[in-house]
Structure 1
Amino acid sequence: MHPVRPRPPRSAARRAGDTAHHLAGKENFLQSYLEQAFGKHDVTSAKMRGALREWLDLYYGAPRPGEDPAPRLAALIVAKLCRTVFAEYDARLDGGADDFTRGSLAALDAVRKLALQYALIGGECLLKPVLTGSALDFVPIRRDCYVPLARDAHGRLLAVGTMECHSRGATRYALLERRVAGPDGLTIETRLFELNGQALGRCVPLSTLDACADLVPQLFLPGVPGVGLAVLRTPLANCVDGSADAVSIYAPAAGLLHALARCEEQLNHEFSNGASRVFASEDLLRPDARGRRTLQDDLFVGLPDDPANLGVTVYSPALREQSYLARKQDLLRGCESLLGLRRGILSETEAEAEPRTATEIAATSVDYDLTIRDLQAMWQTAARDALTICQALGGLYGLRAADAAPVTLTIDWGDGVLYDRSRVWEEQRQLVADGLLRPELALAWYYGLPHDTEADLRRIRDRFMPKGGTL
């Protein structure tokens, strides 16, 4: 008999579109609700929770006193990194993959960009496999939409809590789920509560709502690894509190991003204060019989009717925008250095005061290439974990043969920022022509195929090589 199917996390997907301030409030409710329902609390420190709210504010442009959030540099950083990571992305499975696994990979690819952006914003993102008919879909869950209840020394989740919101008529419900990783499989505990205002009210049977009728209070899924969720974690050391929690990709530059927002606000004031004014005697600005003034108030400034002040005087101060713009470029280059971005990604390269050497230019390009490779490795690890979970769930639900062999995921990332694939391929072709490299190995490198055994090489010969064995 197949296990009961978990319900899709509808609220997690819906919360993803809310503002940062609303999410912060819901996060606090979620922590409180889970602690009341399961007696477990969030293992994230208060300092990390504050940093998470700050990262969301930076990304979503939440206003702060004295700052102009309009440039949205955090959103720009995330968008540029995501586009570069997947610029030449191509994922494929080995020839033994079944339709269920291929469908799971297609569902995973459909959410890869959104999931990566969530991970870059909050440092971590969960990929939850959800049954939709006879296939699995994936729902990305952002860091502020779940509560870590236990982690190991490496930051891997051992227990996690999530919440779904439901309603029937005027009554609102909270469906709380706790996932606990075990040595033999995954345990899922589910509770349904009738909300009393903003407080967690009484616990009601799961059958109270049709959407939860198929659920059971406790479900054990043997053979499912971890908490049954693939995890995307940024490859940065924690620079907030030194814990095992992952941090936002722009966490090291959060202070500079705030400084840039303040600089932008100051520049706005400079232009506002630098607007021309005409000082005129007050009698010129007196309203007429209908209450209308004869001159525009935003240009003319009235003075007392002193004989020495009669007439008009034009005041047009010199703008100091160059000083602000130079400061802004310094801050942008500081962000690029802290985040491992190439010069010119955020700043204007021609705005630098002194010409830079070729070595300095190459160094920033290498940093950027390594940054992108780290993010690509992050996605590749999460994608393979996701397919492993899918294969385990597929066997439990009878969607694939329980004894089916595991499949191998291969991802081709293309040339990358510095890597010239065509040049390396020509070098390999020359080595084959000189008799210094077997053509099967060159083809295995080009197509990313296994080549460790003689059987692997024979499959390459049969599939790709014409008779005669030359490229």
Structure 2
Amino acid sequence: MKGEDELQSYLEQAFGKSDVTSAKMRAALREWLDLYYGAPRTGEDAAPRLAALIVGKLCRTVFAEYETRLPPAAPEAVQRSLAALNAAARTAMQYALVGGECLLKPVPADGGFDFTAIRRDCYVPLARDAHGRLLAVGTMERHSCDGRQYALLERRTAGAEGLTIETRLFELNGQMLGRCVPLSTLPACAALVPQLVLPGVQGVGLAVLRMPLMNCVDGSTDAVSIYAPAAGLLHALARCEEQLNTEFANGASRVFASEDMLRPDAQGRRALRDDLFVGLPDDPANVGVTVYSPALREQSYLARKQDLLRGCESLLGLRRGILSELDGTGEPRTATEITATAVDYDLTIRDLQAAWADTVRQAMALCGTLGALYGVPHGAADAAPSIDWGDGVLYDRARVWAEQREMVDAGLLRPELALAWYFDLPCETEAELAEIRRRFIGAERQKGGES
């Protein structure tokens, strides 16, 4: 998080604007990142990395059967942009799961747009509206040339006329922002201009992926990490793990011997002489060594750990057994509880999928607007692909398809409508239904009255 504090300081010096995020939220962001990256903390064992486990499992589940479709007539630029967006999808989702919010920056490339995911600690919100939408944001890129370090600072501001982008290049003086130099100083920045206005571009010209949780840190409109509600429990689990490690370390068998039995060797290390072990009496009172081997209390710590893991699952809407065992004994809990947690988990995944679907719509609309400005034939600005998420926890696609086929066999449903549902095809007009019949229902079957 040093980089974020540094970025905030640089932006204040360059543009006279500061981060609108509260101090409490900035501290929470540091904590979320520390939990994810396993930063050491006194009295805690960060090795289990539960935050990384939560993020990884959720991201894999969200995109397990993810598929996007475009109309056959979609321009090649749209197909390239969508492919680039899909390539950045998992990175962006993980960034948002950790930091609560992630920005996707479209960059013209290869006749379409490429996308760069920007992590929450790598940009500074300079203004937000009442709904938490960004009105101004600052970012920084570091460059190195001829042994000198440079900082390229960019400020994006939304306005009624469109998007304004201000760019400044500074030569760094150690950790301080040095003198402002011309953008042409660096070959990578030579094509940039100090101020650029993009008319018609809504917002800050970036697609935003936000977590669907209500802010539980300071009540503001800032987005929070997916595991923010369970941050305290994650720390408690790390402490429990450290205590369990200590229990095993303290429970190791030891042999205590009196001081006079130890003799230093050539290196000064004190040890028992082999010739001392020539036969010891059976009476313990006459034995010069005592064996210490205490009973371990690991079951108590493990039971506490399972309780904390189940608490995390409940707070985060995860299915029972994702983090914890199904029960302390490994046996399933009640059917009602299993069903309830499955419903919660399905709704959690659906919320995340809906958040990404909204980001896709933003990104493709933004590509359409920018394409008109940059001369990239990207089609309509409001065009969006259809998204197929596959089966959910509560949704069995195979079962629904079997039911639809039964309805077709019984004459209760037209086969064109069933096929349109299965292949996600338009079916609102007779022309669209006729196209489905042409592609999937043979002429002989149509003549036979099965259409």
Q: What is the 5 A alignment of 1:229-308?
A: 229-289=206-266, 291-295=268-272
Determine the C-alpha separation between the residues in 2 that align with 1:396 and 1:235. Answer: 32
What is the DSSP-based 3-state SS (H/G/I as helix, E as strand, rest coil) of the residue aligned with 1:195? strand
2:118 counterpart residue number: 141
1:407 CA displacement: 3.4
Which amino acid in structure 1 is aligned with residue 423 of structure 2? Y
Q: CA RMSD in A?
A: 2.1
Q: What is the 5 A alignment of 1:249-398?
A: 249-289=226-266, 291-295=268-272, 311-351=288-328, 356-398=333-375
2:418 counterpart residue number: 442
2:105 counterpart residue number: 128
1:62 counterpart residue number: 39
Superimposed CA distance per residue, residues 209-228 of structure 1 (whole angstroms, 9 cap, x where no aligned partner)? 11111001111222323211
What is the DSSP-based 3-state SS (H/G/I as helix, E as strand, rest coil) of the residue aligned with 1:236? coil
Bigger mean CA deviation after superposition, 31-40 or 338-347? 31-40
Determine the C-alpha separation between the residues in 1 that align with 2:199 and 2:430. Answer: 36
Q: TM-score, normalised by structure 1?
A: 0.88
Determine the C-alpha separation between the residues in 2 that align with 1:35 and 1:439. Answer: 63
Q: Contact conserved, 2:169 with 2:182, CA < 8 A, in 1?
A: yes
1:76 counterpart residue number: 53
Q: Contact conserved, 1:93 with 1:407, CA < 8 A, in 2?
A: no
* Corresponding position: 1:452 with 2:428: yes
Q: Contact conserved, 1:161 with 1:177, CA < 8 A, in 2?
A: yes
1:354 CA displacement: 8.7
Superimposed CA distance per residue, residues 165-207 of structure 1 (whole angstroms, 9 cap, x where no aligned partner)? 1122232211111111223422111111122222222222111
Number of residue equivalences: 437
What is the DSSP-based 3-state SS (H/G/I as helix, E as strand, rest coil) of the residue aligned with 1:243? coil
1:434 CA displacement: 2.2
What is the DSSP-based 3-state SS (H/G/I as helix, E as strand, rest coil) of the residue aligned with 1:256? helix
1:420 counterpart residue number: 396
Which amino acid in structure 1 is aligned with residue 200 of structure 2? G
What is the DSSP-based 3-state SS (H/G/I as helix, E as strand, rest coil) of the residue aligned with 1:351? coil
- Structure 2 spans left out of the alignment, 5+ residues: 274-284
* Corresponding position: 1:89 with 2:66: yes
What is the DSSP-based 3-state SS (H/G/I as helix, E as strand, rest coil) of the residue aligned with 1:260? helix
1:404 CA displacement: 5.3
- Structure 1 spans left out of the alignment, 5+ residues: 1-23, 297-307
Superimposed CA distance per residue, residues 358-386 of structure 1 (whole angstroms, 9 cap, x where no aligned partner)? 11110000000111111111111111211
1:450 CA displacement: 2.8
Superimposed CA distance per residue, residues 259-289 of structure 1 (whole angstroms, 9 cap, x where no aligned partner)? 0000000000100111111111223321134
Determine the C-alpha separation between the residues in 1 that align with 2:267 and 2:180. Answer: 68
Which amino acid in structure 2 is aligned with residue 461 of structure 1? R
Which amino acid in structure 2 is aligned with residue 434 of structure 1? A
Percent identity of paired positions between Structure 1 and Structure 2: 75
Q: 1:82 to 1:309 in 2, by over 3 A?
A: farther
2:137 counterpart residue number: 160
Q: 1:270 to 1:382 in 2, by over 3 A?
A: same
Superimposed CA distance per residue, residues 409-452 of structure 1 (whole angstroms, 9 cap, x where no aligned partner)? 11111111221111111111122222222222222221222333
2:281 counterpart residue number: none
Determine the C-alpha separation between the residues in 2 that align with 1:169 and 1:257. Answer: 45
Determine the C-alpha separation between the residues in 2 that align with 1:443 and 1:295. Answer: 84
Q: 1:226 to 1:462 in 2, by over 3 A?
A: farther
Q: Contact conserved, 1:149 with 1:160, CA < 8 A, in 2?
A: yes
What is the DSSP-based 3-state SS (H/G/I as helix, E as strand, rest coil) of the residue aligned with 2:261? helix
